[in-house]
Structure 1
Amino acid sequence: MTRVARLPRYLAATLALAAAAAAQAAPPPPPAALQGAREIAALPDGAWLALDKKALRLLGADGREHARLALRGQQLDTRPAPHGALAVVLDADTQRTLALTVDTQAMTLTTRSAVESPAFPVEASCLYRDGQGLDHLFVVADDGLAEQWLLGTGPARLVRRLALPPQTQACRVDDAGGWLYAQEEDAGVWAYRAEAEGASRRRAVALVGPLGPLRGGVQAMALLPGGLATVDGRGRLQLWRESDGRWRTAGKPQPTGARGGIEALAASADASSLLLAWRDEKDGRWSSTSRPWAPPAARTQLPVVHAVAQTDPVPRFGDAADDPAIWVHPGDATKSLVLGTNKKQGLFVYGLDGRQRQALEAGRLNNVDIRQGLRFGALTLDLALATQRDEKALAVFTIAADGTLADAGRVTTGLDDVYGTCLYAPQAGGLEALVNDKDGRVERIRIEATAGADGRPQFSGRVVQRFRLQTQPEGCVADDQTGRLFIGEEDRGVWALSLADTGPAPKLELVLKVGGLLQADVEGLALYHDRKAGRSWLVVSSQGNDSYLVAEAAPPWRVRGAFRVGLNAEAGIDGASETDGLETTSAPLGAALPRGALVVQDGHKRLPDGAQNFKIVDWREVERVLDLN
């Protein structure tokens, strides 16, 4: 069976430890007691793990054995840990993946079950340590069926299922680059996103001819800092460097001393050089060579906040959930609600605990917004308006004092493909809706309400302004206090304009341009009014890099930073990615959310896989990571 060498590394510890040990002196070669081991792994303090046919052994730097675990194991992988390492190994008899705490000071092995036997025979497995420092395990079947599990002190939890190439013989994860490498023996090496959040991606790294330079399949691979080393079926060793998801040839060292085929390959690097080692399939001897190699520059990591709650998934799969809004209960803020649109079904209502309270089957709703305490003559109403795409209209919902919603009718528009919307409650009173079309047209509609014969309010609207953007908009938010509208043009950025300008060509100012922290598509927009500090923040969904940008909502529109919503392992809530709509409130929502909340749509439900939903974030987390106070 083709395998990846786990760690016959002569000059350094495992690749996972290489970054931390980059400037340190190289450790001595493996002791003679490791000869004959199928897989080996270098550990801190000069210790070694050796996986033989019948046992996993822990050896000291002098080669003396200190601990042993009897098993018929395979697929050894490690990551650094306090006082030693985390190791995983697959028990070939039970198909359970075991996790081991390796203490290189006490020289002990402590074992527990990491992942029970899955519903398929495991052919490959590998560890992944994400940007939050959480450990994951990938297990892969021969037919490519794969699962990603979150490891921890308790039982492992399934994060997601994914499809890797059939006949995947081995896998390895570049933690820093975020790439999961899958070795398909007859086709080559592929790279997948190791991060569970976001859309799946696959890239070709090194393929077998005629599509690539490999000949006779791929026999082995090893991680390099910022790249990969491969050996093909003709024994040719080749190095690859990765940059922005592309791999380019970075050298072809000539293996020496190999009388048979190369069955295993390993690599290690320090601050300026790379050591490659290979095992001869015929006699089991190891040979090595070194060459200059510059590690890649460290990648910038955005700060991470965590959701404290999440809503029930919408009852439709695919691209369904879209935009949230927040209704603040007038008497008890803990009874406030999150409204969320389902583009395949209607409007859903959730408590702050995420439990669904109502479902209003109103059809293909896209964006939704709320205003409370609106006065229309003798009527005082809380209203939610949402774009109804099939009817080319605004769907109007009334919200009772206890939070019960009712479908109250439609207000027609003159648009062909109704898309985004936001509400504006002028200081002089009344309500207006800004509605946009995918072709860039925007209508500003004055909403009117009167009491019907049955006592129920009746709604109508009239267009008071029309203007357009050059390309597709969607998200928008109006500042009732300043009379300013922010509207996102998905591929260009965020525009601001004064709603006092009611002409057909209002003056638009591009206040946030796509580039840097803000990556297209520009999606949801929201305002957080910090009344205590007397300032407001504009929050933008930067869909292109699964993050959220925060800027001052007044000139000079200074950007304060960006963040991601990461996995909350303690609460069992996954992160958020590919966010469409979002909303904020600064209203205290009880002891758990004293500074209000941020609610974001999650485009990819994980932990485990499921239909899309909405995540609720304590605003204090945003203030903390961006130092907004």
Structure 2
Amino acid sequence: MRANFLLALLGLSLLLGQPAVAATSLKLDKAGLHLLDENGRELDSLKLRAKRWDQRVEGSHETVAVLLDADRGRPVLVRSEGRILLARDLPEPTFAVDALCLHRDPQGLLHLFLLGEEGLSEQWLITDKGARTLRRLATAPSPEGCRVDDRRQVLQVHEAGLGLWEHGTEAEGKPQRRLVKVPSKGKAEPAPKRYDWPVLQATAQTDPVERLGDAADDPAIWLHPLDASRSRVLGTNKKQGLLTYDLSGREQQLLEVGRINNVDLRQRIQAGGKTWDLAVATQRDENSLLLFGIDAEGRVSELARLPTDLTDIYGLCVGRTPDGQLDVFPNDKDGRVQQYRVELNPQGQWQARLLRAFKLSSQPEGCVVHEAEQRLFVGEEKRGIWAVDARAEVPAKPQLVMPVGAELQPDVEGLALYQGKPGAPSYLLVSSQGNHSYLVLDAKPPFALRGGFRIGINAQLGIDGTSETDGLDVSSADFGGLYGQGLIVVQDGHKRLPDGPQNFKYLPWSEVTKALKLR
């Protein structure tokens, strides 16, 4: 019974791989693995004892297979190239493997699922350099077999006496699984709809934060006044404090200032007859604004804690007024958005003066100010993106820019503005957390959607993709090299390759320009 089931799974897995039919074929028996021509004659063979294997047809003369060596307990990757077999050992798993199967993801990358007999399983990324653990996952104990539907991106695992489990193959995001139920009419359940955007690759990532779970949240980019390569990225760890990183992602500072959520900054602010680079973060334990100064070398220091009358402070953004002052827009989970002017009083003390307030019907968080247009964009997590006049003397009348829907899926999280050069378009960048993607809209009415993208695995650099992004930032400054047209920094909700504490990923704006055909 078990053997028949495994054979059926193997046949289905071949159908679910690449559509090309190989002129050669593979056969496994007690003597080992055999490469056969179209007439069944043996071309090559590999002597090993294996009971578990899977294969993918990759072209008219190539097949990739993985077998579990029964004597050594480790997987072996085999490729047929023409008339020969090429084999190499993969790392030895740290658990007893009951089933294994291959998967080609939408990026064309090869994955291997190793299912443990006790339900502790792993997903590996296979490259020319070897195999690396991408993530751990929980599956049915003592599985009777597995297969992957590449098109639907689901791993199917059979559990005796219960049925067939389907797990999402995408490593990013929270693990998803369901027990398949066969409808009474015998029709398969439809695959869930998804909006497909181009998949880009991060070119750098920061050191992980020091706290597990939902910790990293929001970044902000600071441009060095003389040498852009020495710029800094500020990032919040909402379980610890504020961090700074260089453009390679190495941690430079940790300020343990408590439970801060969002951070934003502006440079060349005029206050007290001096010019300042200032960053502001929301301090959730105190419902206050935490003000930081940034010196000419990018060193950050705390300047003041400024109280607000919010009761559950959450998100925040800042903007520079036409005369060079700093306005701060914190929000509350109850929907309130306030506008403060941060300034030095005659005694030389920092203060936050409330200018105006308005309220959305539900919880906001991300926001950004388009200073050239004096427009504030606010993300209401469950409803969409709003635009409001940023001038304090004008009544706040929010207008809906984009509601949640097929492209923009809740939660609506981070918002950032790519400020184009004079005469060039500016763009609003939005984190669509519900489908692990990022949207690009015109920053001027009618706020047309220019497209979206996702961030996938960069196998060459060993950087995982991103998912469930909270905060993000973008700068159009020339940082040199890959970032000559600008830099995007996004929070990654699930650190993979391998699993670990969250971090931030860097992406060149030029890749977005190319993928979405922007100008």
Q: TM-score range by the shorter chain?
A: over 0.9
Q: Any conservation in 1 of the 2:99–2:116 contact (CA below 8 Å)?
A: yes
* Cα distance change, pair 140–617 in 1 and its aligned pair in 2 (3 A): same
Select which of 83, 87, 98 maps to 2:76: 98
For 2:19, the aligned partner's letter is A
Aligned residue in 2 for 1:203: 178
1:496 and 2:387 matched: yes
Q: Report Cα offsets for 1:84-104 as digits up to 9, x if no partner.
A: 21111111111121111113x
> What residue identity is the alignment partner of 2:466?
A
More relative contact order in 1 or in 2 (CA 8 Å, sep 6+)?
Answer: 2
TM-score of the pair, normalised by structure 2: 0.95
Distance 2:326 2:9 in 1: 71
Q: Does 1:561 align with 2:475?
A: no
- Specify whether residues 154 and 71 from structure 1 end up closer, same or farther in structure 2 by C-alpha distance, changes over 3 A only: same
Confirm or deny: 8 A CA contact 2:235 2:243 kept in the other structure. yes
Alpha-carbon distance in structure 1 between the residues aligned to 2:202 and 2:266? 25
Match of 1:143 in 2: 118
Q: Is the 8 A contact 1:389 1:419 kept in 2?
A: yes
TM-score by length of 1: 0.79
- Confirm or deny: 8 A CA contact 2:65 2:79 kept in the other structure: yes
1:170-210, Cα deviation, whole Å (9 max, x unpaired)? 11111111111111113211111111011111111149xxx
CA 1:348 to 1:13, structure 2 compared with 1: closer, same or farther past 3 Å?
closer
- Supply the distance in 2 between the matched residues of 1:8 and 1:442 (Cα, whole angstroms): 55
Seen in structure 2, the aligned counterparts of structure 1 residues 451 and 379 have a Cα distance that, compared at 3 Å, is: farther
Could you tell me whether the CA contact under 8 Å between 2:200 and 2:454 is conserved in 1?
Answer: yes
- Residue 625 of structure 1 aligns to a residue whose secondary structure is helix
Query: What's the counterpart of residue 265 of structure 1?
Result: none
AA aligned opposite 1:510: L
Contact 2:13 2:54 in 1 (8 A): no
Which among 136, 139, 146 is matched to residue 164 of structure 1? 139
C-alpha contact 1:168 1:183 (8 A) present in aligned 2: yes
The aligned amino acid for 1:200 is P
Find out whether 1:466 has 2:443 as its counterpart: no
| Matched residue count | 517
Tell me the distance in 2 between the aligned counterparts of 1:583 and 1:109: 48
Matched, 1:75 2:52: yes
Matched, 1:530 2:420: yes
| One-letter amino acid of the counterpart of residue 587, structure 1 | A
RMSD: 2.1
Find out whether 1:118 has 2:93 as its counterpart: yes
* C-alpha distance 90-58 of structure 1, shift in aligned 2 (>3 A): same
Deviations 1:462-505 (A, max 9, x none): 111011000110000011111100000111110001123646x6
Give the letter aligned to residue 107 of structure 2.
Answer: Q
Is the CA contact 1:172–1:182 (under 8 Å) kept in the aligned structure 2? yes
Query: How do 1:408-487 and structure 2 match up within 5 A?
Result: 408-450=303-345, 458-487=349-378
5 Å-filtered alignment, 1:359-378, equals: 359-378=254-273
Change (3 A) 1:148 1:533: farther
Aligned residue for 1:49?
26
Deviations 1:280-321 (Å, cap 9, x if unpaired)? xxxxxxxxxxxxxxxxx9x75310111111000000000000
Q: What is the CA distance between 1:116 and its match in structure 2?
A: 2.0
Are 1:546 and 1:577, in contact at CA under 8 Å, matched by a contact in 2?
yes
Determine the structure 1 residue equivalent to 2:19. 20
Structure 1: 5+ residue stretches without partners? 22-42, 214-237, 246-296
Q: CA deviation at 1:13?
A: 9.3
Query: What is aligned with 1:357?
Result: 252
Of all paired residues, the percent bearing the same amino acid is: 48
Question: Cα offset for 1:428?
Answer: 2.3
> Aligned partner of 1:64: which letter?
R
- Displacement, 1:168? 1.6
Q: Letter of the 2:160 partner, please give it.
A: E
**Runs of 4 or more consecutive aligned structure 1 residues displaced over 6 Å after TM superposition:** 7-10
**Change in 2 beyond 3 A, CA 1:614/1:451:** farther
More displaced stretch, 521-530 vs 76-85: 76-85
* Alpha-carbon offset, residue 241 of structure 1: 1.5
Shift of 1:534: 2.1
Q: Which has the larger radius of gyration?
A: 1
Counterpart Cα distance in 1 of 2:358 and 2:436: 30
Q: Pick from 109, 122, 127 the counterpart of residue 85 of structure 2.
A: 109
Q: Contact 1:324–1:341 at 8 Å: present in 2 too?
A: yes
2:479 is the alignment partner of 1:584: no
Q: 1:379, 1:451 within 8 Å by CA — same for their partners in 2?
A: no
**Aligned AA (1:601):** Q
SS of 1:622's equivalent?
helix
Q: Go from structure 1 to structure 2 and tell me whether the alpha carbon gap of 1:444 and 1:13 turns closer, same or farther (over 3 Å shift).
A: closer
What's the CA shift for 1:365? 0.5
Q: Is the alpha carbon distance of 1:48 and 1:8 closer, same or farther for their aligned partners in structure 2, counting shifts above 3 Å?
A: farther
- Matched residue, 2:64: 86
Identify the residue that residue 191 of structure 1 maps to in structure 2: 166
Give the Å deviation of 1:242: 3.0
Q: Could you tell me how far apart the structure 2 residues matched to 1:550 and 1:67 are? A: 52
- The one-letter code matched in structure 2 to 1:241 is A
CA–CA separation in structure 2 for the residues paired with 1:195 and 1:546: 11
Amino acid of the structure 2 residue aligned with 1:493: G
Q: Does 1:344 align with 2:250?
A: no
Structure 2 residue identity aligned to 1:202: R
1:513 maps to 2:403: yes
Q: 8 Å contact 2:317–2:329 — kept in the other structure?
A: yes
Output the amino acid matched with 1:584. Answer: V
Does 314-323 or 371-380 show the bigger shift? 371-380
Taking the aligned partners of 1:123 and 1:402, their CA distance within structure 2 comes to 55
